[in-house]
Amino acid sequence: MNTYTLSQRSLSNLNGVHQDLVQVVHQALALSEYDFVVIEGLRSLARQKELMKEGKSKTLNSRHLTGHAVDIVPLVNGAIPWQDWSAFESVSKAMKKAAYQLNVSINWGGDWISFRDGPHYELCREVYP
Ligand SMILES: [Zn+2]
């Protein structure tokens, strides 16, 4: 256990996100080796279209549009270690463990093969359509 708490920014980015996923995020932070920040949750269609235009997303069917997804990044000495995959993987272990404990089915974008998305977590479509 650690003493990390979600920042105001993280909490406001959880607004409109499915409550089961919010619970997982809270529990994961307690289990996590690294502090982390929720950089995005619920997303507007306009923003999704922007991200596609910028090549940062591949779909208009994003789980962010319905509040079924969050983007989470580790914080190491106050910075986001974009080059350090192991820190993202560490956060994913905390998220998966928390999801397991709470019996919530999630997918991590880092496990995707075609477009590996380290910050991305979403509720399984099979369980949460
Ligand atoms: Zn995402």
Q: How far is the CA of 95 from the centre of ligand 1 (A)?
A: 14
Averaged confidence pLDDT in the chain:
95
pLDDT for 114 equals: 85
d(CA 114, CA 36): 25
Hey, what domains does the chain have and what are their CATH numbers? Answer: 8-123 (3.30.1380.10)
Report how far ligand 1's centroid is from the alpha carbon of 4 (Å): 22
28 CA distance to ligand 1 centroid (A)? 17
Residue 1's pLDDT band (boundaries 50, 70, 90)?
low
Task: Give 3's pLDDT tier (boundaries 50, 70, 90).
Answer: confident
For 23-52, the pLDDT digits (tens) are: 999 999 999 999 999 999 999 999 999 999
Quick one: pLDDT band at residue 56, thresholds 50, 70, 90?
Answer: confident
